[in-house]
Amino acid sequence: MNTQAQRFEITTSRQFEAWLAESRASLAFSTYQAGMVMLIGTNADGRLSLFNRQLDRAMGLTISGGTLYAASLYQLHRFENLLPAGATTGEGFDQVLAPRFSYVTGDLDIHDIGVEADGGAIFVNSLFSCLARPSMTHSFKPVWKPAFISRLAAEDRCHLNGLAMEDGTARYVTAISATDTADGWRDNRRDGGVVIDVASGETVAAGFSMPHSPRLHQGRLWLHDSGTGRFGTVDIASGRFDEVAFCPGYLRGLTFVGDYAVMGLSLPRDSKTFSGLALDEALAARKVEPRAAIYVVDLRTGDVAHWARLHGIVTELYDVAALRGVRKPMMVGFKSDEIRRLISVDDAEQLDKRVTLQ
């Protein structure tokens, strides 16, 4: 049924497709509001390739090599690429991400996800205000919490949300505020945001408005000061935030392709969570409406080099990830016909043929 509520359209800047093709990269983004993970690449003729799968309340998303982790309402999923290097399918896809394992975590409100040195996942457990790993026997295994959180409780005390990884290790996190009471962060949305060094437990920067998506790139710490619409860097020594670009939307999700930052913009919800922020004032001062989009910012100049605007059903994004060296990716759905037929064998060439089953 082609109704307005179900409509989805994407419009791009003139060179967005060319930039993707020249960068030998494609993008993935999650939208919890529409319940999708979407892959954006390019076809052989240079036109945009779009592929999406339904994933209920899709949130955190991260890619490492041929592995993709994605969080949904009550699960953490691991997808793996089934294609050998250089291979393509008949439809021209050069990466086929198939679900290979899912942890049932319960509704932990999983935000950012990182990939550790051993290939396993570490994630921000916002409900319990901690970093956690998946468990084979429980909902999660807590591994770190901010020093100001007195105990683990399902109370979303500080809205821990962002995670920056360095060489397979959790390095920095962001929280909306340093509060230790149930849902306390909501009273400090305008300027209570903090950046915390995971190793030392020290707060290295403060005064942010709903910070998200800390990332380390080119030796610098980048993040979104989402409540103001500012994207920039944090000087760890001084705690100073240097704005690189203003974006007309609520910023979440950040990845890098060379000298370019790729980020997600959302339409602010009409709710107490998003109202009363400096972003409202900044949009009014610039006489611009907020937008749902993917922006590509040139780190050397701060200019918005390319963009893709999202229309219709998608109004909010959470995470953005880059698939480097991949031109046209696809994902296998949990309820699709393909999942029955896509069978792979682990290290089949190493099988000792003298071994027989008894």
CA distances from 253 to 28, 93, 244, 348 (A): 10, 25, 16, 38
Task: Dig out the tokens for 321 from the structure.
Answer: 């990830």
Assigned domain for 103 exists: yes
Assigned domain for 351 exists: no
Q: Is the pLDDT of residue 24 over 60?
A: yes
97-124 pLDDT per residue, tens: 999 999 999 999 999 999 999 999 999 9
Give residue 1's pLDDT: 33
Q: Is the pLDDT of residue 271 over 60?
A: no
Give residue 270's pLDDT: 63
Nearest-angstrom CA–CA distance, 319 and 312:
19
% the chain with pLDDT above 70: 94
Length of the chain: 358
Q: Please state the domain count of the chain.
A: 1
Q: Is the pLDDT of residue 266 over 50?
A: yes
Asked if 161 and 126 count as a contact pair (C-beta separation under 8 A), the reply is yes
Give residue 81's pLDDT: 95
Assigned domain for 353 exists: no
Assigned domain for 222 exists: yes
Assigned domain for 355 exists: no
- Laid out side by side, the sheet with 130-133 consists of 110-115, 121-125, 130-133, 141-144
Mean pLDDT of all residues belonging to the chain: 93
Give residue 6's pLDDT: 67
212-260 pLDDT per residue, tens: 999 999 999 999 999 999 999 999 999 999 999 999 999 999 999 999 9
- The CATH number of the domain holding residue 48 is 2.120.10.30
Does the reported pTM lie above 0.85?
A: yes
What angle is formed at CA 217 by the lines to CA 213 and CA 222, rounded to 5 degrees?
40
Assigned domain for 354 exists: no
Assigned domain for 356 exists: no
Residue 347: count of CB within 10 angstroms of its CB: 6
Domain of residue 31, residue span: 4-344
Assigned domain for 172 exists: yes
Quick one: average pLDDT of 155-172? 98
Helix (H) or strand (E) holding 19: helix 16-23
| Between residues 354 and 72, the one the model is more confident about | 72
